[in-house]
Amino acid sequence: MPSVFETSTTATPITFVTKSSWDAVRETLPPAQRQFATASAFAAKPGGYLALPAPDGTIAQVLFGLEDDGARSRDPFRPGALPGLLPPGTYRFANAPHDARLAALAFALGSYRFARYRKADSPDVRLVPPDGVAPAEIDRMADAAMLARDLINTPSNDMGPEELAAAAQELAAEFGANYACTIGEDLKTNFPLIHAVGMASDRAPRLIDITWGDSSHPKVTLVGKGVCFDTGGLDLKPSSGMLIMKKDMGGAANVLALARMVMDAKLKVRLRVLIPAVENAVSGNAFRPLDIFTSRKGITVEIGNTDAEGRLVLADALALADEEKPELLIDLGTLTGAARVALGPDLPPFYTNDETLAADVARCAVKENDPLWRMPLWPPYDAWLDSKTATITNAPSGGFAGSITCALFLQRFVEHATSWLHVDIYGWTPSAKPARPEGGECQAARAIYKVLSERYA
């Protein structure tokens, strides 16, 4: 997507106001504009918008309402609503919003439109970069978010394992990274869990493998769940549960977004990206409840539920990643409804036993307005994974602590990495908010990128 930033000496000012500041701001307006604001009943409520006319009929300035400083909650992305409100033109911030950098990012994110299947004109608005804000860094984050959104929003008939692999290959080529892919029956011996989940589809499963950077730099490996559509398998989802399962490759989309930021910023890491790309379909050769498979790591896994397939494909990919003993191993996936029940769609849980990493992730999540919340790898629940006929089950009975037991399952496949971070994202915005249109969403990637940029810039 083209940058929203532009240098201009004639940009229209945007004045941010709150209910508490509005009276003072109104007194500074020329009499005609003051009267126009009064006649328009502008009240400076959060999200309130008013374009004030100049004598020649052009727009003199724009008023936009924000939350008061003492409000119980403030949305730093509130200015992301502006691209959908403003007439075409170039604008500048006349005064400081709550966070100028996040406001500029929100402006860029709010310009996104998914237009692959119907005409959706992108807002023809530009923004003069606020003082102290680096437009290249904002563009980097916005471009990554657009990539993730586009991949998730594309329906599964056009975003199967092959198409996801093609998108990954295109990204690798853009940054001169190495690309490899293991496909179909070639997975059966070394990646049996990935093969088992994907074998029922007529679209062959695959393991995407991208490497980039100087081999002497610290190893950072990203693993993303790439289930391009999830029927639930033989433990079939109801139609309502299947409706937005095109987003079940959201972990892969966000890993690619994160990789894009890392490579574009030229962080001093040896980056590896692993994406198991499959479709969890139903056919005569679909894997079944109580089937047992021997994973890449040698751990035997009993299938307690075929709809807990994401952790299976991640397990083989994590085992491969762990063999290299990376300094940091990160996996993202749209994994459990339990995470949504506990924390809702906007607040993904993350898991790690590295206290320093946990603190860094939590701090950067707040700093980047990319919410995350730490949950425990609670050791007493590990026994719930026990199986009577295999080493572990992929879906313990009972239904308690579903996101935690999923994390504990994945932890079994990580042994040698110095630090491991697991994030259970939703990857979807159910109803539109400023800078976050309804549909596929980039979650956790910006916060993790900020952690990586602080460590490896």
- The residues annotated as belonging to the active site are 237, 311
Residues facing residue 62 across a β-bridge: 14, 51
Burial class (CB in 10 A: 0-12, 13-18, 19+), 447: buried
Q: Is residue 260 within 8 Å of 144, Cβ to Cβ?
A: yes
Strands 49-53 and 419-424: unpaired
- What are the structure tokens assigned to 58, written together? 């052009």
Cβ burial 281-295 (10 Å sphere, 16+ → b, else e): beeeebbeeeeebeb
Phi, psi of 17 (to 5 degrees): -130, 155
Q: How many CB atoms lie within 10 A of CB 325?
A: 13
- What are the structure tokens assigned to 260, written together? 């894009």
Q: Please report, for residues 156, 301, 396, 413, 416, the alpha-carbon distance to residue 287 in angstroms, rounded to integers and kept in the order given.
A: 21, 12, 18, 21, 30
Q: How many CA atoms lie within 13 A of 164 on its CB side?
A: 43
Q: Is residue 281 within 8 Å of 201, Cβ to Cβ?
A: yes
